Copies of this chain bind each other. A is one copy, B any other.
Amino acid sequence: MIKVNENFLKIKNNYLFSDIAKRVNAFSSENQDKKIIRLGIGDVTRPLSPTIITSLHEAVDEMSKIDTFKGYGPELGYDFLIEKIIDNEFRPRGIELDKDEVFISDGSKSDTGNIGDILGVDNRVAITDPVYPVYLDTNIMAGRENITYLPCNKENNFVPALPKEKVDMIYLCLPNNPTGTVLTKEQLKVWVDYAKENKSLILFDAAYEAFITEENIPHSIYEIDGAKEVAIEFRSFSKKAGFTGTRCAYTVIPKELKGYTTNGEAVSINKLWNRRHSTKFNGVPYIVQKAAESVYTDSGKKEVADIISYYMENAKLIKAGLGEVGIETFGGINAPYIWLKTPNNLPSWDFFDILLNKLNIVGTPGVGFGQNGEGYFRLTAFGSRDNTIEAMERFKKLSL
């Protein structure tokens, strides 16, 4: 008799985005004359940049000719892309990596979800609250039941405190989704030191590092001394280069990083992931890897930086606009997310309904990311400039 993995039955259904969709659909079907502005979902809206488009066309042409056609590529990624990543993302920050420490993948969601394959089920897992739901759900699927929540709220400036109990796996998303929080090198060093002392593993999700604008904010956890011994870093082209629908990311696993057997024997995590990735994955499309490579040309770099500036100008407008009407905001300086405290301590969903019904603006209720998100709300900078400006005009009419 075929048995299922019963851990899947323990996952709570998260209806956040489907609940949002239901309420928005109900409203818009009754108010077809109203123009709804969507600042809810964290998805890019600007098209792929000209350099990336050119590179895609060229790669497609290669696939059309027998001499340049590409079949199976290396499962772990083409060297041409890995070299560009090391040269552009890490070496300028003083971080040296070998090519076999960078694994190309189809997305950070896949990698942060699949990384648990190579880790023991009895590890204790620390996640922040609020949090990107994939971290929690994938651990429950794997049967990890010991979860330590690290509250992040206005009182601690959204910086998680070290856990009181010893934890083995620590998910840190920095710049943070949903709160937009970043840590300084000194603040991040606290976590690296904790991990070294406790032989813990930090799962560092840096999907939004390209949005950092301030100095002294580390873009990579490996800017912290000793981090190579304790951290895996997840990076993505999704938000950096508008690849949410094009799919390319990478994960860094230094060879210094060790895990342990129950007997305390040290094992290379890099080797385990190499085995996992080459057995259960068959590489990212050649044309997509060529497109990702083009992000590191001179024109590519300029174009993606311009698009990020465009979004971050939206973020500034949102922060200023909300400030004018007396709403307290967080994030939005080094991240495309503005996390706001609801006026009058309104529950997140009540504020959602007010925005939808009175201002015809859609955002994301903070409580959808965890109970410490209650009374908070997330707006994104990924809208168009016009819509962002109009949304802020509408906020001026908000009366509670």
Q: Which A residues form the contact surface with B (CB < 8 A)?
A: 1-6, 8-9, 11, 41, 43-48, 50, 53, 56-57, 60-61, 63-66, 69-73, 106-107, 109-110, 113-114, 117-123, 134, 137-138, 141, 168-169, 198-201, 242, 244-247, 259-262, 264, 267, 269, 272, 275-276, 279-288
Which of B57, B66, B244 lies in contact with A57, CB distance below 8 A? B57
**Smallest CB-CB separation from A111: which chain B residue?**
B280
Residues of B within 8 A of A4 (CB): 118-120, 259-261, 267, 269, 272
How far in angstroms is the closest Cβ of chain B from A382?
A: 9
Residue pair B280, A110 in contact (C-beta under 8 Å): yes
**Smallest CB-CB separation from A122: which chain B residue?**
B3
Residues of B within 8 A of A73 (CB): 245
Given A2-B199, A279-B134: A245 and B120 interface contact (C-beta under 8 Å): no
How far in angstroms is the closest Cβ of chain B from A101?
A: 18
**Smallest CB-CB separation from A55: which chain B residue?**
B60
**Smallest CB-CB separation from A136: which chain B residue?**
B279
Residues of B within 8 A of A120 (CB): 2-6
Residue pair B2, A259 in contact (C-beta under 8 Å): yes
How far in angstroms is the closest Cβ of chain B from A237?
A: 11
Residues of B within 8 A of A261 (CB): 3-4, 6, 9
Residues of B within 8 A of A65 (CB): 47
Residues of B within 8 A of A48 (CB): 63-64, 69
**Smallest CB-CB separation from A50: which chain B residue?**
B64
Can you tell how many copies of this chain the complex includes? 2
Residue pair B284, A247 in contact (C-beta under 8 Å): yes
Given A168-B2, A281-B110: A8 and B276 interface contact (C-beta under 8 Å): yes
Residue pair A71, B57 in contact (C-beta under 8 Å): no
CA distance A280 to B114 in the complex (A): 7
How far in angstroms is the closest Cβ of chain B from A383?
A: 12
How far in angstroms is the closest Cβ of chain B from A61?
A: 8
**Smallest CB-CB separation from A168: which chain B residue?**
B2
Most chain B CB neighbours (cut-off 10 Å) among A4, A72, A138: A4
Which of B119, B245, B288 lies in contact with A2, CB distance below 8 A? B119
How far in angstroms is the closest Cβ of chain B from A94?
A: 26
CA distance A119 to B60 in the complex (A): 38
Residues of B within 8 A of A259 (CB): 2-4
Given A1-B168, A4-B259: A66 and B43 interface contact (C-beta under 8 Å): no
Most chain B CB neighbours (cut-off 10 Å) among A3, A242, A272: A3
CA distance A155 to B307 in the complex (A): 65
How far in angstroms is the closest Cβ of chain B from A172?
A: 15
* Given pairs A2-B201, A45-B69, 9 additional interface contacts (CB within 8 A): A2-B119, A5-B118, A8-B272, A41-B72, A46-B69, A60-B60, A107-B282, A114-B280, A138-B279
Residues of B within 8 A of A201 (CB): 2
Residue pair B46, A267 in contact (C-beta under 8 Å): no
Residue pair B280, A113 in contact (C-beta under 8 Å): yes
**Smallest CB-CB separation from A108: which chain B residue?**
B282
